[in-house]
């Protein structure tokens, strides 16, 4: 299947899952994960109407984004090393992987230096995965409290990968958990003036479940661009 067809199938499935959950499909953004995908294939997705693309390696993003139209919105979705922050610029729409205090400090420092206010999501290890992708649930409240001291970083919600190799119902439980954590944080005053509107959850395997559980951004790679190594 072509990239254009893949995208329209994903969009239809998002709309169907939204309908099942009584949600508007307009409230769910499709982020095309373009890591390892060459520019010409990203352009096919662009021509199909997509503008938001997710990359997980800063070096790869650096070379790629210059070759693509300027109205692309780039999202950083992978582990971000502090020594790579200086290469990012204001074409970064959202950093999904704010996962530690050192990164918060570094983003603020670089943001102040270059007058960029980074939009971020805090990544949470809801599955208590041993690879420790994200903050542990117990750490989040303190982390959210400290964000207020860093004016060049704003948090707009939470992100999780869930668990790789989990069954569908286990995955649903993790997505539900992330939403509950968000709701709980809101009652305790976390987040900016707009609260914590975003939940970034759902990948090729499980984005329909994520839509049913309240995601606002699904991160879909292989289902759009085809399988990769
Ligand atoms: C690669 C990646 C995705 C996309 O995964 P697919 O299974 O190809 O849809 C989503 N989120 C993150 C953090 C990723 O690294």
Query: Which residues have C-beta within 8 Å of that of residue 185, sequence separation ≥ 6?
Result: 140, 141, 144, 191, 196
Pick the CATH number of 3-225 from 3.40.50.11900, 3.20.20.10, 3.40.50.1110, 3.40.50.300: 3.20.20.10
> Which among 28, 38, 45, 96 is positioned nearest to 223, based on CA atoms?
45
Residues with C-beta less than 6 Å from any ligand 1 atom: 33, 35, 56, 77-78, 161, 203-205, 219-223
> Domain residue spans in the chain?
3-225
> Which among 87, 76, 92, 93 is positioned nearest to 110, based on CA atoms?
87
- Using alpha carbons only, what angle is made at residue 88 by residues 85 and 90, rounded to the nearest 5 degrees? 130
Cα 129–chain centre separation: 18
User: What pLDDT sits at residue 130?
Assistant: 78
Query: Which residues have C-beta within 8 Å of that of residue 34, sequence separation ≥ 6?
Result: 42, 45, 53, 54, 55, 64, 221, 225
User: What pLDDT sits at residue 133?
Assistant: 85
User: What pLDDT sits at residue 164?
Assistant: 80
Q: pTM for this structure?
A: 0.97
The residue whose CA is least distant from atom 5 of ligand 1 is 221
User: What pLDDT sits at residue 228?
Assistant: 55
User: What pLDDT sits at residue 229?
Assistant: 37
User: What pLDDT sits at residue 131?
Assistant: 75
CA 149 to ligand 1 center in whole angstroms? 31
Distance CA 178, CA 168 (A): 16
User: What atom of ligand 1 comes closest to residue 97's alpha carbon?
Assistant: 13
CA 203 to ligand 1 center in whole angstroms? 6
SS3 183: helix
Q: What is the pLDDT along the chain (229 residues), one digit of tens a residue?
A: 799 999 999 999 999 999 999 999 999 999 999 999 999 999 999 999 999 999 999 999 999 999 999 999 999 999 999 999 999 999 999 999 999 999 999 999 999 999 999 999 999 999 998 777 899 999 999 999 999 999 999 999 999 998 888 888 999 999 999 999 999 999 988 887 789 999 999 999 999 999 999 999 999 999 999 965 3
CA 115 to ligand 1 center in whole angstroms? 30
């Amino acid at each position: 299947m072509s990239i254009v067809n893949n995208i329209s199938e994903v969009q239809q499935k998002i709309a169907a899952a939204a309908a099942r959950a009584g949600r508007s499909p307009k409230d769910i953004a499709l982020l095309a994960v373009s890591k390892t995908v060459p520019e010409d294939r990203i352009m096919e997705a662009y021509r199909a109407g997509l503008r938001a693309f997710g990359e997980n390696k800063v070096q790869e993003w650096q070379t790629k984004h210059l070759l693509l139209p300027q109205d692309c919105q780039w999202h950083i979705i992978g582990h971000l090393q502090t020594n790579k922050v200086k290469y990012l610029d204001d074409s970064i729409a959202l950093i999904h992987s704010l996962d530690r205090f050192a990164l918060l400090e570094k983003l603020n420092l670089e943001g102040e230096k270059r007058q960029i206010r980074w939009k971020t999501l805090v990544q949470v290890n809801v599955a208590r995965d041993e690879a420790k992708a994200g903050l542990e649930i117990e750490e989040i409240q303190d982390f959210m409290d400290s964000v207020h001291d860093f004016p060049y970083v704003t948090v707009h919600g939470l992100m999780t990968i869930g668990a790789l190799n989990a069954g569908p119902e286990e995955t649903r439980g993790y997505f539900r958990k992330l939403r509950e954590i968000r709701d709980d944080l809101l009652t305790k005053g976390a987040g900016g003036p707009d609260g914590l509107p975003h939940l970034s959850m759902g990948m090729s395997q499980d984005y329909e479940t994520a839509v049913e559980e309240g995601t606002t951004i699904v991160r879909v790679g292989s289902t759009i661009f085809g399988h990769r190594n």
